[in-house]
Amino acid sequence: MATVALAFSGGLDTTVCVPLLKEEYGYDEVIGVNVDVGQPTEEFDEAEETADALGLDLHVVDAKEEFADLCYDAVKTNATYQGYPLGTALARPVIAEAILGVAEEQGCDAIAHGCTGKGNDQLRFEAVWRGSDLEVIAPVRELGLTREWEIDYAAEKDLPVEAGDGGVWSIDENIWSRAVEGGKLEDPSYEPPEDIYEWTAGPEGETTIEVTFEEGVPVAIDGEAMDPVPLIQYLNKYAGGYGIGRTDVMEDRMLGLKVRENYEHPAATVLLTAHQALEDLVLTKNERSFKKGIEQEWSEKAYQGLVFAPVVDALDAFVDETQDVVTGTATVKVSGGNCRVVARDSEYAVYSEEMASFNTEDVAGIAQEDATGVAKYHGLQERLANDVKAGVEKPELATDGSGAADEIDDEN
Ligand code: ARG
């Protein structure tokens, strides 16, 4: 008996896949897998009802903790892609692994998803699945299905889909972000109505939030220790109430399509802002600037669903090395839809108030006069290059052995 495991959400696409996998692909049995990365409970209820009505055996896997760990890797890396904290992108490999786990444990021959051929998710899922021995099936893409065809087919087969299906917007929600697309939002010049937002209130009021980090990992909010999943969920509610964490981006998908996306991600905004602020205090300039490139590369790979790539392990190794000192607190002020750092504190601060102060003379052997020599040389090459361009005669080499540096000094 041939069995296929299907990524099942209970939406139109995955619902029509159930009979199609039997009729068009000849499988005897389809099992559904729904992976919990923090979707709203209604989504699970819906998936269960639909599965019941279809007579589909539905497995639910809770992967919230694995997902939260990956979100914390993203915090350590200050990861965003084109301004978006990567909620959907980071969730996909976690979901793909969980489904593959069920498929293997149930002795399936194949594994299937309901993604279309236009989006990123088909690539993210298959990047994981094609590493297994199972056959990979993408019915919607392979059979060239359209939404209209699916609606007619569902009616004809009497499949349990809501008439009109799913409301105006296409929404993807997990603990790290809520993504809204489709409908009128596809027009980039259309301003989103307030009702696309569910996590973020209209910006009102003001509060401060202190985040405590240990080696780059958030461990407490306002002094209260919390585990990753509840910490993220708490911040989404609390900070979301002050309207922060909305982005409206033109996003470049992997296939080259530019799409308009709207996101809500209050917890991600607070944690990323606070983490960056603490790093600014404890890392050296060289670490900070080199890490920017690492972050960019990591975020690209995360967007592509390739967090399991060897290069990401190597990037993580660099990031982890820098995080040893990212221990302390950062406080953000949340108001007017805005989140900005107002305080940071760490025993590892690469900072000396005494040295930086204008009032103190000669601390730790630092005296103003010492900077004179540095000031003479600063910009030396640029001045020389400009003189060359302007045709100014170069200083003659001294013949008395007193050295060229003196000559250049005199010129300037
Ligand atoms: N474009 C985003 C990504 O690929 C998120 C897509 C979210 N899906 C949705 N139905 N809103 O990461």
Count CB neighbours of 371 within 10 A. Answer: 11
Q: List residues forming the annotated binding site for ATP.
A: 7-15, 114
* 121 catalytically annotated: yes
Q: Cite the residue boundaries of each domain of the chain with CATH code 3.40.50.620.
A: 3-171
Q: Is the CB of 171 under 6 A from ligand 1?
A: yes
Say whether 10 sits in a helix, a strand or coil: coil
- Taking each helix axis from N to C end, the angle separating 380-389 and 404-411, rounded to the nearest 10 degrees, works out to 70
Q: Is the CB of 289 under 6 A from ligand 1?
A: no
Q: Which ligand 1 atom sits closest to the C-alpha of 181? A: 11
Side-chain-side CA neighbours of 211 within 13 Å: the count stands at 36
User: And the tokens for 237?
Assistant: 């509610």
User: pLDDT tens, 325-341?
Assistant: 999 999 999 988 899 99
User: pLDDT tens, 77-121?
Assistant: 999 999 999 999 999 999 999 999 999 999 999 999 999 999 999
DSSP annotation of 50: H
Distance 183 CA to ligand 1 centre (A): 14
Side chain identity at 175, as an amino acid letter? I
pTM of the model: 0.92
Could you give the CA distance from residue 76 to residue 126 in angstroms, rounded to a whole number? Answer: 27
Say whether 316 sits in a helix, a strand or coil: helix
Q: Is the CB of 181 under 6 A from ligand 1?
A: yes
Average pLDDT over residues 363-381: 88
User: pLDDT tens, 170-227?
Assistant: 999 999 999 999 999 999 999 999 999 999 987 678 999 999 999 999 999 999 999 9
**CA nearest ligand 1 atom 2, residue:** 88
Cβ neighbours for 264, distance < 8 A, ≥ 6 positions apart: 177, 178, 180, 197, 198, 199, 200, 240, 245, 246
Average pLDDT over residues 38-44: 96
DSSP codes, 180-207 = EESGGGGSTTSPPPGGG-SS-PSS--EE
Tokens 């008996």 belong to residue: 1
CA-closest candidate to residue 90, choices 326, 312, 339: 312
Res 402: pLDDT: 54
Distance 72 CA to ligand 1 centre (A): 20
| 144 burial level (CB within 10 Å; 0-12, 13-18, 19+) | exposed
Given a contact cutoff of 8 angstroms between Cβ atoms, the answer to whether 247 and 186 are in contact is no
Count CB neighbours of 25 within 10 A. Answer: 18
CA-closest candidate to residue 72, choices 173, 219, 198: 219
**CA nearest ligand 1 atom 1, residue:** 261
Q: Is the CB of 174 under 6 A from ligand 1?
A: no
Model confidence at 163: pLDDT above 60: no
Q: Cite the residue boundaries of each domain of the chain with CATH code 3.90.1260.10.
A: 173-345
Q: List residues forming the annotated binding site for L-aspartate.
A: 116, 120-121
Distance 121 CA to ligand 1 centre (A): 8
| 3 burial level (CB within 10 Å; 0-12, 13-18, 19+) | middle
Q: Which CATH number applies to 3-171: 1.10.10.10, 3.40.50.720, 3.40.50.620, 3.30.460.80?
A: 3.40.50.620
In this predicted structure, which of 90-99, 102-111, 125-134, 360-369 has the lowest mean pLDDT? 360-369
Q: Which ligand 1 atom sits closest to the C-alpha of 170? A: 10
Could you give the CA distance from residue 412 to residue 403 in angstroms, rounded to a whole number? Answer: 15
CA-closest candidate to residue 125, choices 258, 250, 35, 216: 35
Q: Which CATH number applies to 173-345: 3.20.10.10, 3.90.950.10, 1.20.1280.50, 3.90.1260.10?
A: 3.90.1260.10
